Amino acid sequence: MIKQPLKGMNDFIPEEAGLRDYMINQILEVYHQFGFERIYTPAIEDIENINNKEGGDNQKLIFKILKRGEKLEEAINASQFDDLSDMGLRYDLTLPLTRFYANNKASLPQVGKFIQIDRVYRAERPQRGRCREFVQCDIDVIGDESYNAEIELITATGRALLRLPIGEFFIRVNNRQVLKSVLLSFGFNEESLDNICIILDKLDKIGVDGVVGELEAQGYDAKAIEGLKKLISNPVTLDDIAGIIPENPNLQILKNVIDEANQLSKGSYKVIYDFTLVRGQGYYTGCVFEIASAKFGGTIGGGGRYDNLIGKFTGEATPAVGFSIGFERIYAILHETGFKVPGRKKLAIIYKNDYIGAFNLADSYRDSYEVSMYAFPKKVGKLLNRLELQGFNAYVIYDKDNEENNLNTIDANN
Amino acid sequence: MIKQPLKGMNDFIPEEAGLRDYMINQILEVYHQFGFERIYTPAIEDIENINNKEGGDNQKLIFKILKRGEKLEEAINASQFDDLSDMGLRYDLTLPLTRFYANNKASLPQVGKFIQIDRVYRAERPQRGRCREFVQCDIDVIGDESYNAEIELITATGRALLRLPIGEFFIRVNNRQVLKSVLLSFGFNEESLDNICIILDKLDKIGVDGVVGELEAQGYDAKAIEGLKKLISNPVTLDDIAGIIPENPNLQILKNVIDEANQLSKGSYKVIYDFTLVRGQGYYTGCVFEIASAKFGGTIGGGGRYDNLIGKFTGEATPAVGFSIGFERIYAILHETGFKVPGRKKLAIIYKNDYIGAFNLADSYRDSYEVSMYAFPKKVGKLLNRLELQGFNAYVIYDKDNEENNLNTIDANN
């Protein structure tokens, strides 16, 4: 019997689980206030769905589930070793959402606003910070082609993050169609745009010279490369872009989204344009977003519009936009910095006799405290020290024959 | 692409997910009041842990995860087809809890009181009512050898169920040691006790004659069978048992548990003795419980003491008791009877112009309502009808140029 959880998967002790539940409740409360509603989908999907190529690189990281009984025997006897599995664990919440929407469309509102906070699985190589089971935290608007959906997602996500003590953050926004129009204007051709986006997406890691080098190595037009190089070497504003592709309707949408989202943030976070933002997933068709935390460095969320995904299930074009908070990243930050969940009050009833009497006393406190009962131990000082370490706020020593049974405060310095 | 979830697994649309979250929150609130704390463990366990025989029949129903990369190739090339899997999905929450406790003992309180509400997986044959992914809802006390743990589990579980509109229920209690002492007193021998318990556990299904028939067929002593037959043919009280095995310490524990749990229930549910209660799992060592719902028929929860399980990981005897609410059964009952989650208030802002102004108006209502925004449609009556169907309580038609923007109530008859 093996005591440790599998590599890349985690046990969460009460303090840790309490922090996770607190985060989820804060986020849920804000999302509910915005009219989003939670849904649940199974963690397991048909292998056919989960092997679809929209999953990009994540699709290589699927945990596959072995067939059972006769079907497993059949596959082995026929030496069909590519056919040992009929199901897989989901690698994200977007594929299950699109399948869910296609399956339940008749029972859902015309514009669906969905919350998913749930586990996903990736067969990553076990190493620090690469979890194989982790929680994703998504909201999606399905059925709204207007850019109000983008504004609502950005604002709801921003407000949710304001509930968590992560310090300053900002939201970077781009639009894939705008990016592609700019690339076309430089002379890149239509068919190469996806590939150039993939290279551009590496800018953070390989820098301007790296991007230029890869484009040159792949034989793209020198003048086109030169045009792109200028734009990624210096900060670019929406006005700069308007100079390149004036009167582009997607550019107007991008302007409006950024402008209105900023008005609604009332300065509590900034929404900014980022010409170089691509986002990895191939399925994005319009605006893309990313959340960056000034204090902690790096990305703590992202999303975008993916108008073509649901149609793969339904055959019917259906607009969709989603935004995902990097739950595990924020959890790790709050956990490492020792954030204490506010508002929990813990009381111990230490009883000398009369368990029923002590229980009834405990009951009288349960509306204001989380109440634990302990038999009076040989060394009460040791118990009190332990309670303090565990974050208890108060205790009562209950003695049936003592009319007082006073509430004593524990000074836990936190 | 396949729209339906896999057989035996479920999508939950917002109304359904809302009911599930409501149930979880009600149960969690009570359990927190009793000082229980939530923990999380991964849904995937090492195949060695999950194949252990304590899982009983459930162990046959494991979803196994295919090995990956070189290790999969190795197993195939060596024709080791029993060795294609290195992990499995958990089939219950008790095995993960005992592994968790063994792994995290140093960071946990001496007496641990844990909540687990989480998904488990069983490769059942797909058929009505047999889910392959479902939620279990457990509390466990680890490290307390006193029967106060039993009383606390029964009382906390009873109180949690009182929060849910399931009508009258009662809690049946037995003690495996008492049952075994009675069987010994009839002349059955020590080694046959487990087998006799397995047969007795079928009483519900096969009746008194069925049990007697199986015992006879297996060649047990006729006089011993006769003694047992009398006890299972008529209701048996603790006094009857005291006539058979007087001064048995486990009988005294059983009496005290039932007596004190009844005092604490204050008549809101009954805790009763049931001589025939066995509970399927082989690992139970002392008291066992089962919840029966008078209104809906059948079992809606169960548990018991399992003092020998944690030692399999730690090598150290560790007392443990657990109680599990049949979450899916109760969910199904409430869902089928059309129970509406109380307290949710939904408001629609239908805006004619000025999205930002409408958004700010929506914000002013978000503390008291879940607020959704809609562009003013061509047919507003149709939208209002749909909002009523979706359980909205109120709406505002927002017009920038109208100072009134009144709140209108929707009479949704629910």
Q: Quick check: B34 contacting A, CB < 8 Å?
A: yes
- pLDDT category at B414 given cuts 50, 70, 90 is very low
Let me know: does A352 contact A327? Beta carbons within 8 Å: no
Q: Do B1 and A52 touch (CB under 8 A)?
A: yes
Let me know: does A314 contact A105? Beta carbons within 8 Å: yes
Q: At what angle do helices B176-186 and B222-233 cross, to 10 degrees?
A: 130
pLDDT single digits (tens) A292-315: 987 777 899 999 999 999 999 999
CA–CA distance, A373 with A350 (Å, rounded to integer): 6
Let me know: does A34 contact B366? Beta carbons within 8 Å: yes
Let me know: does B139 contact B133? Beta carbons within 8 Å: no
Three-state DSSP string of B126-179? CECCECCEEEEEEEEEECCCCCHHHHHHHHHHHHHHHCCCCCCEEEEEEEHHHH
CA–CA distance, B328 with B252 (Å, rounded to integer): 35
pLDDT single digits (tens) B190-248: 999 989 999 999 998 999 999 999 999 999 999 999 999 999 999 999 999 999 999 99
Enter the tokens of residue A322: 């989603």
- pLDDT category at B280 given cuts 50, 70, 90 is confident
Let me know: does B226 contact B146? Beta carbons within 8 Å: no
Residues in chain B closer than 8 A to A369 (CB atoms):
33
Residue stretches of chain A with pLDDT short of 70: 55-56, 412-414
pLDDT single digits (tens) B36-64: 999 999 999 999 999 887 766 777 899 99
Helix ranges restricted to H, A78-175: 94-104, 148-162
Q: Do A44 and B104 touch (CB under 8 A)?
A: no
Domain range summary for chain A, segments of one domain joined by +: 14-188+250-336, 346-409
Q: Quick check: B376 contacting A, CB < 8 Å?
A: no
pLDDT over 60 (residue B172): yes
* Reported CATH class of domain B14-336: alpha beta
Amino acid at A125: R
Helix ranges restricted to H, B163-290: 176-186, 193-200, 203-217, 222-233, 238-244, 249-265
Residues in chain A closer than 8 A to B4 (CB atoms):
103
Q: Tell me how many residue pairs between chain A and chain B have CB atoms under 8 A apart.
A: 227
Residues 213-242 of B with CB under 8 A from A: none
Instruction: Please report the DSSP string for B53-121 in residue order.
Output: GGGGGGGGGPPEEEP-HHHHHHHHHTT-GGGSEEEEE-S-SHHHHHHHHHHHGGGS-SSEEEEEEEEEE
Q: Give the nearest partner residue to B109 out of A35, A37, A390, using CB atoms.
A: A390
Q: Quick check: B377 contacting A, CB < 8 Å?
A: no
Enter the tokens of residue A374: 């302990």
CA–CA distance, B38 with B63 (Å, rounded to integer): 25
Q: Give the nearest partner residue to A13 out of B63, B107, B155, using CB atoms.
A: B107
CA–CA distance, B326 with B129 (Å, rounded to integer): 13
- How many Cβ atoms from other residues are within 10 Å of residue B181's Cβ? 17
Q: Do B34 and A371 touch (CB under 8 A)?
A: yes
ipTM over 0.85: yes
Q: Do B11 and A39 touch (CB under 8 A)?
A: yes
Amino acid at A223: K
Q: Compute the mean pLDDT over every residue in chain B, rounded to the nearest whole number.
A: 94
DSSP state of A393: -
Beta strand B270-273 with B64-66 is: unpaired
- Contacts of residue A80, defined as CB under 8 A and 6 or more positions apart, other chains included, come to A74
Looking at domain A14-188+250-336, which CATH architecture does it have?
2-Layer Sandwich (3.30)
Distance from CA of B167 to the nearest CA of A (A): 23
pLDDT value of residue B297? 79
